[in-house]
């Protein structure tokens, strides 16, 4: 007789109205390292099955008070998943077929060798273990699927929040840009309405006639500030104050000689400023007119082609 069966946690119930057979079966099963118990009263077996979970049930068909076949559905209902092995002393194939249809797992004809019982128990426990693993896989799969759906829902929610946030940020950016533009317009309007008239008044004063060119230049520069030329961030950040003054005069059509006379500096200094302006604004091609370039920036267009 072979050794123990691998599934040591299995629990077998024997239902037979003959005590000697129950004792013999229990003896064999214990030798294989499996726990078992027997019941002689078939009807009380159902109550016992409800109390304790059994893995395998050895059921005799020819019981004194009831046909064992009638117990198969009751046992299956009381202990779902239990493997029922039918035992009978009659070589009746119809009984075997009916038992299998009712849910029995296997069929043993009395008298049977211990090895046949052992083989039937091994098959039943292996099938039970496979079913339990499959059930666990299905449950794990359902859990994973539920988690994936949950993650999907959360991702969709986060995506919606991101889209809403992006829309809100876009609206905010447009509002900020509009507010900036409105603020610049208000500042330019106030400068034109308050500062320029005051400077023009000073320029008309005969006592300040010597400063009229400077005052006129100051008016031109303020007009540049209020018309958008000097607000160009690339030009404003690239040029120094002196270069900005020269650039403003160049844009307004003044020659090198006129700029030198107005600012009371040498021709070479003006030419140096013009050279530095072209270099900082990256006007590398000598065929591009500095004035046309500055005018295009003032109007928001690309630089024009021409001669200085």
Reported as a single tens digit per residue, the pLDDT across 163-203 is 888 988 888 888 888 888 778 777 777 777 778 788 888 88
CA distances from 203 to 196, 200, 262 (A): 10, 5, 15
Q: What is the location of CATH 3.40.50.2300 in the chain?
A: 11-134, 205-299
- Which class would CATH give 11-134? alpha beta
Mention the CATH class of domain 205-299.
alpha beta
Helix axes 290-299, 241-251, angle to 10 degrees: 90
The reported pLDDT for the residue numbered 193 is 74
Q: What's the confidence (pLDDT) of residue 12?
A: 94
Closest CA to 44 of 78, 12, 19: 78
- Which residue ranges of the chain lie beneath pLDDT 50? 229-231, 300-308
pTM for this predicted structure: 0.49
Q: How many whole angstroms separate alpha carbon 138 and alpha carbon 255?
A: 88
CB contact at 8 A, 58 and 15:
yes
Could you tell me which residues come within 8 angstroms of residue 13 by beta carbon, excluding any fewer than 6 positions away? 36, 37, 38, 39, 45, 48, 49, 54, 56, 57, 58
**CB-based burial label for 160 (10 Å; 0-12, 13-18, 19+):** exposed
Q: Report the pLDDT value the prediction gives residue 298, as an integer from 0 to 100.
A: 64
Question: How far apart (Å, rounded) are the C-alpha atoms in residues 74 and 60?
Answer: 14
């Amino acid at each position: 007789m072979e050794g123990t069966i691998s599934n040591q946690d299995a629990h077998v119930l024997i239902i037979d109205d003959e005590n000697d057979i129950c004792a013999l079966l229990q003896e064999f099963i214990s030798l294989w390292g499996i726990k078992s118990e027997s019941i002689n009263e078939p009807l009380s077996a159902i109550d016992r099955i409800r109390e304790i979970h059994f893995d395998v049930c050895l059921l005799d068909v020819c019981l004194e008070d009831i046909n064992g076949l009638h117990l198969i559905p009751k046992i299956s209902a009381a202990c779902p998943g239990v493997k029922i092995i039918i035992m009978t002393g009659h070589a009746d194939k119809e009984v075997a077929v009916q038992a299998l249809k009712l849910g029995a797992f296997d069929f043993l004809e009395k008298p049977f060798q211990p090895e046949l019982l052992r083989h039937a128990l091994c098959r039943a426990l292996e099938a039970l273990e496979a079913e339990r693993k499959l059930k666990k896989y299905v449950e794990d799969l359902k859990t994973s699927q539920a988690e994936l759906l949950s993650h999907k829902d959360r991702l969709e929610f986060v995506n919606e929040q991101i889209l809403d946030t992006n829309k809100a940020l876009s609206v905010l950016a447009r509002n900020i840009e509009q507010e900036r533009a409105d603020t610049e317009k208000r500042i330019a309007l106030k400068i034109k309405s308050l500062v320029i008239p005051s400077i023009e008044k000073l320029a008309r004063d005969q006592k300040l006639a010597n400063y009229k060119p400077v005052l006129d230049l100051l008016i031109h520069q303020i007009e540049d500030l209020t018309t958008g030329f000097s607000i160009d961030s690339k030009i404003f950040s690239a040029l120094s104050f002196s270069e900005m003054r020269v650039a403003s005069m160049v844009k307004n059509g003044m020659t090198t000689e006129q700029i030198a006379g107005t600012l009371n500096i040498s021709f070479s200094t003006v030419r140096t400023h013009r050279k530095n302006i072209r270099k900082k604004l990256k006007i590398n091609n000598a065929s591009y007119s500095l004035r046309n370039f500055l005018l295009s920036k003032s109007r928001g267009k690309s630089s024009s082609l021409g001669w200085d």
